[in-house]
Amino acid sequence: GNSVTQMEGPVTLSEEAFLTINCTYTATGYPSLFWYVQYPGEGLQLLLKATKADDKGSNKGFEATYRKETTSFHLEKGSVQVSDSAVYFCALIGGFKTIFGAGTRLFVKA
């Protein structure tokens, strides 16, 4: 069946550091891929998405590229800020059902 695996957290970085959160998936067909973010005390919201191979989703300085050959959708940001501290969830939709990864908590220190 479909599944999503993302790196375990927490991830702790200093402000302006480079961020990578790994996400790999298993799916039949060609799923759409997503990153959702959950800021402290708030609900989940869509961060970015990509719907086909080699597409790059981007938002708020974050980027992720849909890599079909490695079945990956790693989240990156060149320079993190304290305000990026949150839990990040990788997800896919395939067969009309969204599957979420376990989430990766990011702490950014000033």
Partner 1 sequence: GAGVSQSPSNKVTEKGKDVELRCDPISGHTALYWYRQRLGQGLEFLIYFQGNSAPDKSGLPSDRFSAERTGESVSTLTIQRTQQEDSAVYLCASNPTPGLAGDTDTQYFGPGTRLTVL
C-beta closer to partner 1: residue 11 or 93 = 93
Q: Which residues contact 86 (CB under 8 A, 6 or more apart)?
A: 37, 38, 39, 40, 105, 106
C-beta closer to partner 1: residue 10 or 78 = 10
C-beta closer to partner 1: residue 66 or 101 = 101
Q: Where does this chain bind partner 1 (CB under 8 A)? A: 32, 34, 36, 42-46, 49, 51, 89, 91, 93, 96-103, 105
Q: How far is the CB of 53 from partner 1 (least distance, A)?
A: 16
The beta-strand segments (E) located in 15-65 are: 19-21, 23-26, 32-38, 44-50, 56-59, 62-65
